[in-house]
């Protein structure tokens, strides 16, 4: 593998270059745009060009002083990033000193209230009043017209590595020729040699022996790439812990294996139907029947190959440097079939560090183990977390002290295990050791997962540790963990972010106004619901090629982008619902064998106020507003708790969301509640009661 293929994007020489300023909260979007510039030969510098041992402020100031142009990618996250404001002020001084030659380009990544954001910076407000800037929302996201404006309105050609030969010159011509194109449909035509489904990245093509693959770097996946948590090799549906076959044989029980495979298979389809990209841990390619079937089944391997070739499926490599390297856990029969499959296809693979083989193992292990170790070491002394976990696992009040004592013992075991481990080495306390001590029967193999029900809280501990362990990989890679709304541990993930000032803060009055002004008249048409077990990967792949699917995904993406803004707006729900209905209607015509049925139009909302959840369903046909809520300990005294709002196109009271791949939740809001959660809870109930619907509450209460 040639090392220069993976050279750093930032330029560190003496030729003219662009200085890039941004908030780290926007790293994924910014790195995607920087990858676009880098692939087209533009010289630029950003803060990843600071090396160990360097004084970061001195390095930034020096590179900014020597730059010939300044680009600021701005969002509301700048408010928590004073360094960005300082850099902008320095650039303004350079521009004032040489206005003809020093250029400033500002790109708004989202709607920004300039007067509020810079209320204490009148000179910056004055700059915006006279400076022409680019607005990403104005162009409907990262579209061809936006890229054309982004590339052409600035003098990027002055900073090309080789203006005569760079692809930038060709790119400008191609962009100029796409007049009037406002969608991503034709974007891939800009790069005739690239079919990557995420058009703002061009991962390098590599070849090891007879295997070709694309090396995806961090930030080169779609921002909403997902990783289903149920694909962990120790994951179990909560309901199986009470089944006799599981108690006797663990994961080796045939009915349990079939149940896990069925759920995992549907989750793969659900991920592909509602997202551009799906992350796969390479170990799962051999360990999980749901995946091995996809490249060994004659009916599905062609579709699986297409999804690999266009990057819809991204393979995570841990120790390996190619997708077919012999795994540490030995060779399995599936390994040979996988190698033969990869000879015919060119998968996209992602890795933490493609360049530094010496440090890669340590850095990777740190990223993947930090959250797991933190859970084991600090839970015993964190009463707030203990409370969250007890509520999630329904641990009775009289057993919670005993639950905390178990976590004290866990901390003791971890410390003792690592007493002689050097600080620069990886922890010796792994999940397998935890299982041996607290979960499985003594002397039984950990992979079989034969739970010892006499060990205190073994079932609860297994679910907690498996959940935290499973979210490590997607969070370390900047990928979205795919968690169903009814997973009791999702509140742990949300509430663990308390105190993060980069989360939005929403007032109860703003939320009240948004809820009361939402008019769900668009749901008066019936919905189309399918029998998901008849779905296969070939149908999923064909659905992803439909214009209706692309239109639906554009609406979903727009809603996801809005969920990161400092506002709350229910208007995206109508767009997603309408396009979702058009997609399912088309699918009902193309695949009648899936036993489609029509049901009354409805949309469901899931509100999380700290520890408390409220679900409401608007049922247009029945003219009813159905409510499900928990009422225990509702008057919480904690302020600024996590607040999320999700919506589902359909009635989640009547439809089994786990069995229907055409239903999935979408995030509408993600932030912090300014007031106490109990106040917010009661205020939303008050808003819902004012709707012109029959209010149904009692029989729907959880």
Per-residue pLDDT reduced to its tens digit, 111-129: 776 766 777 788 888 888 7
Apex 447 CA angle, 444 and 450, nearest 5 = 50
pLDDT at 158 over 70: no
Residues 6+ apart with CB under 8 A from 96: none
CB 77 within 8 A of CB 502: yes
Q: What percent of the chain has pLDDT over 90?
A: 26
CB 289 within 8 A of CB 341: no
pLDDT at 312 over 50: yes
What 8-state DSSP symbol labels residue 161? S
Rounded average pLDDT over 27-51: 77
CATH topology of domain 3-190: Rossmann fold (3.40.50)
Q: How many CA atoms lie within 13 A of 273 on its CB side?
A: 25
pLDDT at 184 over 70: no
Q: Helix 254-274 vs helix 547-562: angle between axes, to the nearest 10 degrees?
A: 90
Confidence (pLDDT) at 678: 75
- What confidence tens digit (pLDDT) does each residue in 227-257 have? 999 998 899 988 999 999 999 999 999 999 9
Most confident of 80-94, 205-219, 391-405, 598-612: 391-405
Rounded average pLDDT over 81-104: 87
CB 98 within 8 A of CB 92: no
pLDDT at 603 over 50: yes
CB 288 within 8 A of CB 295: no
Rounded average pLDDT over 471-488: 84
Confidence (pLDDT) at 360: 53
CB 645 within 8 A of CB 665: no
Higher-confidence residue: 640 or 605?
605
Task: Give the mean pLDDT of the chain.
Answer: 79
Confidence (pLDDT) at 518: 82
pLDDT at 456 over 80: yes
The 3-state secondary structure of 459-497 reads: HHHHHHHHHHHHHHHHHHCCCEEECCCCCCCHHHHHHCC
pLDDT at 357 over 70: no
> Hey, which residues does 72 pair with through a beta bridge?
21, 106
- What confidence tens digit (pLDDT) does each residue in 651-669 have? 887 766 667 888 888 888 8
Of 103-112, 219-228, 652-661, give the lowest mean pLDDT range.
Answer: 652-661
pLDDT at 166 over 50: no
pLDDT at 570 over 90: no
Rounded average pLDDT over 315-329: 81
C-alpha closest to that of 540 among 290, 321, 271: 271
Confidence (pLDDT) at 175: 40
Find tokens 């300044």 and name the residue: 70
How much is the pTM?
0.71
Of 5-14, 98-107, 353-362, 467-476, give the lowest mean pLDDT range.
Answer: 353-362
Most confident of 352-366, 450-464, 673-687: 450-464
Higher-confidence residue: 608 or 367?
608
Hey, CA dihedral for 226, 307, 231, 411, is it positive or negative?
negative
* Tokens of residue 147, six digits: 């890229």
Confidence (pLDDT) at 483: 85
What is the CB neighbour count within 10 angstroms for residue 207?
A: 12
Confidence (pLDDT) at 53: 76
Apex 265 CA angle, 259 and 271, nearest 5 = 135
pLDDT at 168 over 80: no
State the pLDDT confidence band at 223, using cuts at 50, 70 and 90: confident
φ and ψ at 695, to 5 degrees? Answer: -95, 115
DSSP notation for 637-690: ---S-EEEEEEESS-TTTS-TTT-TT--EEEEEEEEESS-HHHHHHHHHHHHHT
Q: Report d(CA 2, CA 595) in Å as an integer.
A: 52
Rounded average pLDDT over 157-186: 44
Q: Report d(CA 526, CA 548) in Å as an integer.
A: 18
- What confidence tens digit (pLDDT) does each residue in 337-347 have? 898 999 999 99
Confidence (pLDDT) at 699: 42
> Hey, which residues does 167 pair with through a beta bridge?
none
Q: Report d(CA 502, CA 81) in Å as an integer.
A: 9
State the pLDDT confidence band at 165, using cuts at 50, 70 and 90: very low
Find tokens 């977390």 and name the residue: 385
* Tokens of residue 333, six digits: 């029969």
C-alpha closest to that of 619 among 509, 513, 700: 700
State the pLDDT confidence band at 372, using cuts at 50, 70 and 90: confident
Q: Report d(CA 445, CA 415) in Å as an integer.
A: 24
Q: Report d(CA 137, CA 141) in Å as an integer.
A: 5
Confidence (pLDDT) at 157: 59
CB 514 within 8 A of CB 647: no
State the pLDDT confidence band at 623, using cuts at 50, 70 and 90: confident
pLDDT at 672 over 80: no
Rounded average pLDDT over 621-648: 69
Q: Report d(CA 289, CA 314) in Å as an integer.
A: 18
What is the CB neighbour count within 10 angstroms for residue 80?
A: 14
State the pLDDT confidence band at 362, using cuts at 50, 70 and 90: low
> Hey, which residues does 672 pair with through a beta bridge?
505, 642
Confidence (pLDDT) at 7: 42
Q: Report d(CA 474, CA 362) in Å as an integer.
A: 18
State the pLDDT confidence band at 140, using cuts at 50, 70 and 90: low
Domain ranges for the chain: 3-190, 204-350, 357-494, 504-700
State the pLDDT confidence band at 615, using cuts at 50, 70 and 90: confident
Confidence (pLDDT) at 270: 92
- What confidence tens digit (pLDDT) does each residue in 284-299 have? 998 889 999 999 999 9
């Amino acid at each position: 593998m040639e090392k220069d293929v993976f050279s750093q994007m930032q330029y560190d020489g003496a030729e003219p270059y662009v200085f890039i300023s941004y908030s780290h909260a926007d790293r994924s979007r910014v790195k995607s745009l920087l990858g676009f510039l880098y692939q087209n030969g533009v010289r630029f510098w950003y803060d990843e060009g600071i090396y160990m041992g360097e004084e970061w402020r001195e390095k930034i100031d020096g590179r900014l002083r020597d730059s010939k142009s300044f680009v600021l990618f701005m969002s509301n996250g700048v408010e928590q990033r004073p360094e960005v404001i300082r850099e902008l002020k320095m650039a303004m001084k350079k521009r004032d000193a040489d206005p003809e030659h020093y250029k400033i380009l500002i790109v708004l990544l989202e709607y920004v209230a300039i007067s509020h954001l810079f209320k204490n910076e009148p000179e910056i407000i004055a700059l915006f009043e006279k400076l022409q800037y680019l607005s990403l929302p104005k162009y409907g996201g990262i579209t061809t017209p936006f890229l054309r404006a982004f590339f052409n309105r600035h003098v990027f050609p002055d900073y090309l590595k080789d203006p005569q030969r760079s692809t930038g010159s060709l790119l400008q011509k191609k962009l100029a020729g796409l007049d009037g194109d406002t969608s991503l449909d034709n974007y891939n035509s800009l790069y005739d040699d690239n079919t990557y489904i995420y058009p703002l990245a061009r991962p390098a093509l590599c070849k090891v022996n007879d295997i070709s693959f694309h090396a995806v770097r961090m930030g080169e996946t779609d921002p909403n790439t997902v990783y289903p948590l149920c694909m962990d090799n120790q994951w179990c549906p909560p309901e199986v812990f009470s089944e006799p076959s599981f108690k006797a044989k663990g994961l080796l029980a045939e009915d349990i294996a079939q149940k896990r495979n069925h759920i995992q298979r549907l989750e793969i389809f659900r991920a592909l139907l509602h997202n551009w990209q799906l992350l796969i841990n390479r170990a799962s390619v051999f360990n999980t029947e749901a995946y091995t079937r996809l490249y060994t089944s004659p009916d599905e391997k062609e579709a699986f190959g297409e999804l690999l070739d266009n990057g819809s499926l991204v393979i995570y490599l841990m120790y390996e440097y190619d997708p077919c390297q012999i795994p540490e856990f030995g060779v399995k029969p599936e390994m040979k079939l996988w190698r033969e499959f990869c000879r015919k296809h060119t998968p996209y693979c992602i890795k933490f560090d493609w360049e530094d083989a010496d440090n890669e193992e340590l850095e990777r292990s740190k990223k993947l183990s930090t959250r797991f170790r933190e859970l084991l070491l600090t839970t015993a002394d964190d009463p707030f977390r203990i409370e969250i976990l007890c509520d999630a696992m329904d641990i009775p009040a009289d057993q919670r002290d005993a639950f905390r004592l178990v976590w004290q013992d866990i901390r003791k075991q971890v410390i003792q295990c690592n007493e002689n481990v050097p600080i620069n080495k990886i922890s010796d306390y792994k999940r397998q050791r935890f299982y041996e001590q607290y979960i499985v029967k003594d002397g039984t193999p950990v992979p079989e997962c034969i739970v010892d029900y006499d060990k205190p809280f073994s079932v609860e501990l297994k679910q907690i540790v498996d959940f935290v362990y499973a979210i490590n990989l997607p969070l370390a890679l900047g990928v979205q963990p795919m968690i169903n709304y009814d997973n009791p541990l999702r509140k742990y993930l949300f509430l663990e972010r308390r105190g993060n000032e980069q989360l939005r803060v929403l007032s109860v009055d703003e939320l009240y106004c948004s809820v009361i002004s939402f008019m769900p008249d668009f749901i008066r048409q019936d919905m189309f619901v399918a029998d998901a077990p008849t779905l296969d990967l070939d149908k999923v792949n064909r659905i992803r090629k439909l214009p209706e699917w692309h239109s639906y995904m554009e609406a979903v993406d727009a809603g996801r982008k809005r969920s990161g803004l400092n506002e709350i707006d229910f208007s995206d729900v109508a767009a997603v619902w309408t396009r979702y209905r058009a997609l399912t209607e088309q699918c009902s015509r193309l695949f009648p064998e899936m036993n489609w049925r029509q049901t009354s139009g409805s949309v469901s909302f899931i509100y999380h106020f700290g520890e408390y959840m409220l679900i409401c369903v608007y049922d247009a046909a029945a003219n009813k507003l159905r409510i499900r809520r928990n009422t225990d300990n509702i008057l919480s005294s904690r302020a600024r708790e996590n607040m999320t709002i999700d919506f589902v196109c359909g009635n989640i009271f009547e439809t089994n969301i786990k069995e229907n791949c055409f239903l999935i939740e979408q995030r509408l809001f993600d932030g912090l509640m300014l007031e106490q959660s109990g106040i917010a809870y009661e205020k939303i109930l008050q808003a819902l009661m004012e709707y012109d619907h029959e209010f149904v509450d009692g029989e729907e209460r959880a």
